Chains A and B, each alone.
Chain A
Amino acid sequence: MFEMTFHLLAASALAPDVPNLEALLRTARTSIPLQAQKPLQLPPPAKLPANERRRSSQAVRLVLACLDELERQSRQPIGALRSIFATNDGTGEVSQAMLGTLATTRAISPLVFPNSVHNAAAGYFSIAYKNYKPSTVVSQGKDSFAAGLLCALTDALTLNEPVLLICFDPAMTGPILEHLPIHQPTACAIVVTTQDTNTPALATIHAKLSCSEQPDNFPKWLPSEWEQNSAAYGFAFLGQISTEPTRPITLKLGQQALSLTRQ
């Protein structure tokens, strides 16, 4: 068993009908199921150079929009943070386009191919924010938020610095959707630290990794069609610590479970 305590310094959320963290927490508090009917508009990322901005993929726009929101509401200087990117499948429509081309002409665009790597969004984040700190991309299916959080926490603990975790799921398209039902884009971002800082923390949280706990069911206030979205488990975590601070939330992580309890 592994245990530690950390501070949550900032958080943001982005999804259809979830323009920011406050909207997410409002839904969690009312327990009225989120409808998620309003399509998420993802603007071209203003922080990228014009040539990159025009051809940015859905994943890149989703990540940078979520981080813009984080920076706006938290005043965290995220351009200087090391980062963990977590995703079920971080490529979205790019994989679909690549597979379609490979099944026919095989004439892949040199502009599309670089966006097919899972760390494309992380690379564009570093360019947009001129951030030279490392980023690592973690993928563990729908457990990716828990996997990313474990990596962010052990980074924060061993390196004594705050760590940015962003969990994102671009919407899938076409035939791949039949296998990976991610119908809508979702993203959440948090900043964690184990150090006492001058910045007031949103929450202090105890984390416990074990093989004995049973993971919680997917919350009823989130759309059931988000069950494959790894970021939805980040939403569940943020909702739980906000609405029921004394009750732990337990997230599945492979054959283990990560329990998180607000202190």
Chain B
Amino acid sequence: MLLNPSGIVAVSLAHCLGVGVPLLWDALIEHRSGLRPNDLEWCNLNCWIGRYPDLERAIPPTRLEKYDCRNHRLAWSALQDPLLQASLETEYTKHGTHRVALVMGTSTAGMQSIETAYKTRLTTGLWPASFSFGDVHNVEGLCQFVRDAIGLKGPSIGITSACTSSTKVFLIAQKWLTTGVADAVLVGGADSLCLSTLHGFNSLQLLSDKACRPFDQCRNGISIGEAAGFALLTREDSNVMFLGGGESSDAYHITTPDPEGSGAIQAISQALRVTGLAAKDIDYINAHGTATQFNDRAEAKALRQIFGEEDTPISSTKGTTGHTLGAAGITEAVITIEALSRQTLPPMTQLTQADSDIALNLVTKAAHARIRHAMTNNFGFGGTNCSLIFGQGI
């Protein structure tokens, strides 16, 4: 069955610089970073983080009180986008709330809430009265929260495939639109800072003590960020279309990517194949570019193999946003959609001296360019790989 392109009707993001896509885009273009030295009261690791600055103000209304947690505050912030809300209303009117589906990606969901509650449980023998496991911790809780917040009644599922969680949501949405499972699909992702990921990546010695520097010769690890975002997809034409994507498994190691980048090559090649495009047709690539030694080297190898002769402009935007893990897919998809919409290449933020082994055409300065098609890639623990291609529409 031929998968149809899907129109991107609206996008929204909450990120470490605040709320809104324009705020993030301006920072990217001006080489500004939202990363800061770790100032979390509840974590004293020596690292940099991409902390959402408006958390205290992002309190959901009383009717959604049971869902209140760090992750859902991020999602709530991103849901306040006026264009997204208006577009959802349009789709509800056209098709009914039961024909609009929800596909959400997250890696750790409301982990920070259970970390706090669990400590209380160990100390006092009782869970905090306000803690509601199913509403804040489970992956399902994120879907329920979004459904209840916006009155959506179509099918909904949570995807939790590490750093490709909110990348894969686009592939599912396209299949659901093509087969008629739904008439519009709201895709998104949310992942928030928590002890599990901060101490977990610290245990693997993968946290940088500075702002992360993807593809830099001095890169020494990731900076964990937090974000939530959404994109509303329909069958209708729009100025930016989701054309298709590819995915694969490394079958190599649970945390380390295949050094030859073979899994990434498969995902990218499949994305090109299903969209009927060649490497020369891609005018911008938003790389996964986490800033670990192994990840960046393996990804660069894969990108060189497919795009080496084309000299395709590539940037990793994690120097501005941090690695938002389960929300990396939606964050970077939205940046890629903006690049297409504005016909502008977003540059690297923290790059000082590109690693000579990387040998990619890294975007060091924002520039207007003819962008017909743009790609975004995410790879993650478990050897999961996913590549998406967006194109200009009407």
Which A residues have a C-beta under 8 Å from some C-beta of B?
A: 2, 4, 52, 88-90, 98-100, 102-104, 106-110, 113-120, 122-124, 126-127, 129-141, 143, 147, 150-151, 154-155, 157-160, 175-176, 178-180, 209, 211, 253-256
Residues of B within 8 A of A4 (CB): 179
A255 contacts B251, CB within 8 Å? Answer: no
Residues of B within 8 A of A103 (CB): 115, 118-119, 122
> What are 13 of the A-B contact pairs (CB < 8 Å)?
A98-B196, A108-B199, A113-B196, A126-B251, A127-B252, A131-B251, A132-B262, A157-B1, A158-B175, A254-B155, A254-B157, A255-B153, A256-B98
A158 contacts B178, CB within 8 Å? Answer: yes
Whole-angstrom distance from the CB of A53 to the nearest CB of chain B?
Answer: 13
By secondary structure, the A interface counts as mixed
A52 to B253, CA, bound (A): 9
Residues of B within 8 A of A133 (CB): 248-249
Given A103-B115, A124-B254, A255-B147: A151 in contact with B172 (beta carbons within 8 A)? yes
Cβ-defined partner of B196 (8 Å) among A102, A126, A138, A139:
A102
- 4 closest cross-chain pairs (CB), A and B: A123-B382, A179-B133, A134-B247, A113-B200
Given A132-B263, A138-B159, A150-B155: A106 in contact with B199 (beta carbons within 8 A)? yes
A-B contact count (CB 8 A): 203
Cβ-defined partner of B168 (8 Å) among A109, A118, A136:
A136
A178 to B132, CA, bound (A): 11
8 Å CB contacts to A: which residues of B121-168? Answer: 121-122, 127, 133-134, 137-140, 143, 147, 153-162, 168
A178 to B114, CA, bound (A): 13
Closest A residue by C-beta to B121 = A175
Closest B residue by C-beta to A258 = B155
B115 contacts A151, CB within 8 Å? Answer: no
Residues of B within 8 A of A155 (CB): 175
A170 to B251, CA, bound (A): 22
A228 to B308, CA, bound (A): 50
Given A135-B384, A150-B181: A254 in contact with B156 (beta carbons within 8 A)? yes
Closest A residue by C-beta to B123 = A103
Cβ-defined partner of B204 (8 Å) among A110, A158, A176:
A110
Residues of A within 8 A of B247 (CB): 134, 136
Given A116-B196, A126-B249, A132-B249: A140 in contact with B156 (beta carbons within 8 A)? yes
A138 contacts B158, CB within 8 Å? Answer: yes
A180 contacts B133, CB within 8 Å? Answer: yes
Residues of B within 8 A of A160 (CB): 1
Given A119-B160, A139-B139: A178 in contact with B175 (beta carbons within 8 A)? no
Closest B residue by C-beta to A115 = B254
Encode contact with A along B208-246: 1 for CB under 8 Å, 0 otherwise: 000000000000000000000000000000000000000
Closest B residue by C-beta to A150 = B155
Cβ of B266 under 8 Å from chain A: yes
Cβ-defined partner of A99 (8 Å) among B115, B159, B161:
B115
A127 to B203, CA, bound (A): 23
Residues of A within 8 A of B199 (CB): 102, 106, 108, 113
Cβ of B25 under 8 Å from chain A: no
Cβ-defined partner of A150 (8 Å) among B122, B138, B157:
B157
Q: Find the residue from B138, B161, B176, B204 having the highest chain A CB count within 10 A.
A: B161
Cβ of B107 under 8 Å from chain A: yes
Cβ-defined partner of A254 (8 Å) among B138, B143, B381:
B143
